[in-house]
Amino acid sequence: MMALGDEMRQILEVAHTLSGLRADDFEALRAIADQAQAWAEELEGAIHQLLQSHEATAPYVATYLEGRPAVWFRTLFEIHNEQEFLHRQMNIAVEHVRHGVPNEVVLALTPRWVEWMTTKAAATLGYEKAQEIAVIMTRVLNLAAVVMVATYDMVIRRTFIRETGFSEALLKRLQTRTLQEIADQIQDEQAEASA
């Protein structure tokens, strides 16, 4: 198994390389910090309201982004380098694992953040600036989500290997078997739904 530090660096490098994040993205966010900071509480309220609106998501109000989306949001406008941002997302992912926040919550909320922020930017900064912010926030939030999901996966896999003593090769064989069972179950459910 790859050393932990090497695996963390690989996650960050791959995610950053493919995200399209540019060096000036955080500079552009810092330039609108005064206006955007005022949106934090409202956006947090929208996130909490959305999570509370369904019994399947309500348990994550207190744990998604450590229960404080406004604090996380504000940090987006204070970051001075990409490594700081990436490491912060890894730390949040570890907290998500610790508190059982599933990846589907992170992934499903990412486009909602972009949507809400674009709407706020359009009302506050005008349509042209809102479009620019939407593009930047899509890159930033997609990168954050990828780092969180990859870190989550790494933590779960490493925990399983350490606690069971299984080798990585054995884990892959078990995963292959489980994946086939899941694929078969999906096909059965699709067939039933089509009947």
Task: State whether 89 and 157 are in the same domain.
Answer: yes
Q: What is the pLDDT of residue 7?
A: 85
CATH code for position 132? 1.10.490.10
Domain count, the chain: 2
Question: Residue 61 contacts by C-beta under 8 Å, 6 or more apart in sequence?
Answer: 48, 51, 52, 67
Q: What is the pLDDT of residue 110?
A: 92
At residue 167, φ and ψ (nearest 5 deg) are: -80, 165
Task: State whether 23 and 117 are in the same domain.
Answer: yes
Domain containing 150 equals 4-164
Q: What is the pLDDT of residue 21?
A: 87
Task: State whether 155 and 176 are in the same domain.
Answer: no
Task: State whether 192 and 145 are in the same domain.
Answer: no
Q: What is the pLDDT of residue 9?
A: 86
Q: What is the pLDDT of residue 168?
A: 83
Average pLDDT across each block of 10 residues of the chain; the chain has 195 residues. List them in order: 84 88 87 91 95 96 94 89 84 88 92 92 92 91 89 88 88 85 88 84
Task: State whether 176 and 154 are in the same domain.
Answer: no
Task: State whether 61 and 31 are in the same domain.
Answer: yes
Q: What is the pLDDT of residue 40?
A: 93
